[in-house]
Each structure stands twice: as C-alpha cells, then as structure tokens.
C-alpha cells in the first residue's frame, strides 16, 4: 500500500512537472505571439509610411517642370528677384530658371500672384518667399533683380505712401543686402523718370521733367531717388549696379485690374465693353495722332538679363521705339479679338505724359539688344492669355472688370 502511494505521488510529481512545463511553454508562446502582433502592427505602419513616402517622391519626380538647362557649380548663380511673382518678374523667373540658375522669388503679393510662378514650386532650384522689401532681408545671393513695386498708374496711385516706401526703403534694403553679400543689383527703373518729357525721343542723358507733387510723383520720384541710391552705393560702397529704364510693356500675366492701356483694351474688347480712350482734348488731330510705344515682355526680359551680365553701370533705356497711335492699338485689338466694342473717349487724367518714345541706341550698341517680337504677335499672345484668364475666372464665378485708369479718388489705405 505504501509502495502504491509512493508510486502515485511519483507519478503526480512527474505530471506536475509536465503540466508546469506545458504551462510555461504556453505562456512563452502566448507572449511571443502577442509581441509579434505588436511588431507586425509596427511594421505595417512603417511600411505604410514608406509607401506614402515613395508615392510623394515618385509624384515629385514625375511632376513636370519646364525643361531646365544643367549648369556647373561655377556657372550657376544664386539669383534673387524681388517682385518675382509679378507680370515681368515671373517671366524673368522663367528665363533664369530655364537657364539653370537658382532663383529665389520674393513678393508681397500686392500685384504679384502665386499662380504666376506656381509651375516652379517644389523645384530644387526654386524658392518662393512671401516678404515685403520694406523689411530687411538676409539671404546669400550673387545677383539681385530688384523689380518690387507696383508699376501701373492705378496701382501705384492706390497707396502713394506705400509706393514711396517700397521704392525708397525697399531699394535701400536691397542695396544693403547687395553690399553685405557682394551681389550685383539691377534696378528696374522706368521711363517715368523722364516725366512729361520736353525732348523727343528720350535718351539716357535727359534729366526729365517731373512734377514732384503730382499724382504720379510717388512712382516717378520714388524711382528717381531709387536710381540716386544705386549710384550712391556704387560710389561710396563699391556695390555693382545696373539700371534699366523700362518703357511701356505688355504681355501675358498682366493683372486683370492692371489698368494700363493694352490690358484695358484687350479685356474690354473680350467682354464687349467700350474701349476707354483717354485724351486731353477731343480734337480730330489728337484722336488721330496720340501715339504709344509698347514693348512685349519677352523682349524686356532678354534686355534685363543682357544688362545684368554686361559691364554697363549707367542707366539704359529698354523700350520699343516703334510708335503707333492709340487709335491703331484700339482698332487692332478690336480686330484680333473680333469684338464689336465701341471706342469711348474719356478726359485725360492729370499729369499724363503727352508723348514718350525711347531712344534705344545705347542698348543696341552696348548690349546688342533691340525688340524682336512684332506687335501683332505680342498682342495675340496677350489676348490668348486674357481669354484663358476670363474662362478661369468664370469657372470660379468671378467676373473681373478692367480698371478705369487714373480715375480713382478717395483715401487709400496706408501701411
Ligand atoms: O484705359 C486706358 C488706359 C490708358 N490710356 C492711355 O494710354 C497711354 C498709356 O497709358 P498706360 O496706363 O498704359 O501707361 P503710362 O504710359 O501712363 O505709364 C506706364 O509708363 C511706363 C511704365 O514704366 C509704367 O509701368 C507705366 O506707368 C496714356 O496716354 C493713357 O492716357 C487710355 O487711353 N485708356
């Protein structure tokens, strides 16, 4: 009996050990399975992140940018364009990007628009900064194209104090930057420094005829003092400067509300509105003879790049010397658009220059530059652009109205 009890006890011990071992295995197995579920989950998340990353990367690789030339480190420049999202600035951005440079666009989006440069966003050579040049800027660059300023009369007259600040403090800030980093600065000046000229055509030696207290003075005098600042920095601090005196320019990416004559006429013709022709007196002679010179934007951009990379530090006129009467412009635009719009004669605004035509002999001789785009071709491209813009706006339920040039009165906002 004793033996039997001992045998049972022995068996129980063995059973106990066996059971204990089984429990231990089960516990470990359970733990392991639990860990692997967690790990599997973690792996799954990591896998998902990798997939998304891959998707983003492949998207950015497959994103179509306009073709960009490859430039070696030595030839590739770091270029700042102030006002680079505007009408002229964005075309300049396109050219410099396609030439293979690194371009930083600075714009406060008063008249510039992201849409003008959105096709470069994400490109490794491109950067867009929302910044007002009235505030200092600290970046490393080799060249500065200083274009930031409203350029059309209704826009620069909208807030004259701001226009003055942009052209004075803004230019000082950019010249300070150029001095600090040893960059060359090109100022986008204007034919408006000649005011209402008493000589015709205007060459770069002419000092101008500007009313310092008139409605155009914020821009005219602002640009005149900007030029003065450039030459003070050149003489006193050795900053390399280039000054382009830009005459009337038109082209795609002009703002719908720009208010200059070509964009107004095109928009009015496309919308079947009367073409607003502004005149000092409505005599037959004036209607037939009031003349206009208009440069197409791609010609201007080529001139700006040639000037920047030249050794000419004195001012250079960039404009189209080909004169057409405003009536010719109106008729040509009407026929290209096939529009039934009438021509409406409006009284001329105060201080409008009577006649301006660039003498471009200096640019021809020293830069080998002259306009090459025929008027009709430039107008057709601009008309196509405005048609597309109108379509886009209509899809967004917004019908823009051309701005009646210089008729604006009232107290503008000041900041
Ligand atoms: O709707 C309009 C607008 C303008 N005009 C006339 O067209 C002529 C040109 O006017 P714009 O508004 O196009 O341009 P402005 O010549 O006055 O100024 C321009 O000149 C040089 C550039 O540097 C500047 O960007 C811009 O201010 C003026 O005689 C003006 O009275 C019209 O007949 N109808």
What is the residue with the minimal CA distance to atom 23 of ligand 1? 190
Phi, psi of 91, deg, nearest 5: -70, -35
Q: Is the CB of 276 under 6 A from ligand 1?
A: yes
Task: State the pLDDT at residue 192.
Answer: 98
Give the tens place of pLDDT for each residue, 246-268.
999 999 999 988 999 999 999 99
Catalytic residue among 219, 231, 385, 398: 219
DSSP letter at 403?
-
Q: From the CA of 349, give the closest atom in ligand 1.
A: 31
192 lines ligand 1 (CB under 6 A): yes
In 3-state terms, what secondary structure has residue 211?
Answer: coil
Q: Are the beta carbons of 101 and 166 closer than 8 angstroms?
A: no
**Quick one: how far is CA 81 from the chain centroid?**
8
Q: Is the previous residue joined to 201 through a cis bond, with omega within 30 degrees of 0?
A: yes
In this prediction, the residues of the chain whose per-residue pLDDT falls under 70 are 1-63, 397-415
What is the predicted pLDDT for the residue at 12?
60
Which CA distances in Å does 91 have to 114, 168, 181, 189, 383? 13, 24, 25, 17, 17
Residue 302 token pair: 């080529």
d(CA 122, CA 128): 10
Separation of alpha carbons 397 and 399, rounded Å: 7
Quickly count: other Cβ atoms within 10 Å of residue 358's Cβ. 25
DSSP codes of every residue in 127-190: EEEE--TTS------SEEEE--S--SHHHHHHSHHHHHHHHHHHHHHHHHHHHHHT-EEEEEEE
Mutate to test the pocket of ligand 1, among 258, 274, 278 (most ligand atoms within 8 A of CB): 278
Catalytic residue status for 219: yes
Phi and psi at 166, nearest 5°, equal -60, -45
């Amino acid at each position: 009996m004793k033996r039997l009890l001992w045998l049972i006890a022995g068996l129980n011990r063995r059973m106990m050990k066996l059971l204990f071992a089984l429990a231990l295995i089960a516990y470990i197995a359970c733990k392991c399975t639990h860990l692997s579920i967690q790990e599997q989950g973690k792996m799954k998340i990591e896998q998902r992140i990798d997939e998304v990353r891959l998707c983003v990367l492949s998207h950015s690789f497959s994103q179509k940018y306009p073709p960009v030339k490859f430039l070696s480190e030595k030839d590739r420049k770091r270029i700042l364009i102030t006002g680079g999202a505007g009408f002229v600035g964005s075309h300049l951005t396109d050219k410099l990007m396609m030439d293979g440079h690194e371009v930083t666009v600075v714009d406060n989006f008063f008249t510039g628009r992201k849409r003008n440069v959105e096709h470069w966003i994400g490109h490794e050579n491109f950067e867009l900064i929302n910044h007002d040049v009235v505030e200092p800027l600290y970046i490393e660059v080799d060249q500065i194209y200083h274009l930031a300023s409203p350029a059309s009369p209704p826009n620069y007259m909208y807030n004259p104090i701001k226009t003055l600040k942009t052209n004075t403090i803004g230019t000082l800030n950019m010249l300070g930057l150029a001095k600090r980093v040893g960059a060359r600065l090109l100022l986008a000046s204007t034919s408006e420094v000649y005011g209402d000229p008493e000589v015709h055509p205007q060459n770069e030696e002419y000092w101008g005829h500007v009313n310092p207290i008139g409605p155009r003075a914020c821009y005219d005098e602002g640009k005149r003092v900007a030029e003065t600042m450039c030459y003070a920095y050149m003489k006193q601090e050795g900053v390399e400067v280039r000054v382009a005196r830009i005459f009337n320019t038109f082209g795609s990416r002009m703002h719908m509300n720009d208010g200059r004559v070509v964009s107004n006429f095109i928009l009015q013709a496309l919308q079947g509105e009367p073409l607003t022709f502004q005149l000092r007196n409505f005599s037959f002679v004036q209607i037939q003879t009031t003349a206009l010179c208009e440069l197409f934007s791609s010609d201007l951009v080529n001139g700006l790049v040639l000037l920047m990379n030249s050794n000419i530090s004195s001012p250079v006129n960039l404009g189209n010397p080909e004169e057409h009467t405003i009536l010719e412009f109106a008729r040509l635009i009407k026929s290209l658009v096939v529009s039934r719009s009438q021509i409406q004669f409006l009284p001329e605004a105060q201080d409008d220059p009577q006649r301006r035509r660039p003498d471009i002999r200096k640019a021809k001789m020293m830069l080998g530059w002259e306009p090459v785009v025929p008027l009709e071709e430039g107008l057709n491209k601009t008309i196509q652009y405005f048609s597309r813009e109108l379509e886009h706006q209509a899809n967004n339920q917004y019908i823009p109205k051309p701005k009646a040039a210089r008729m604006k009165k009232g107290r503008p906002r000041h900041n």
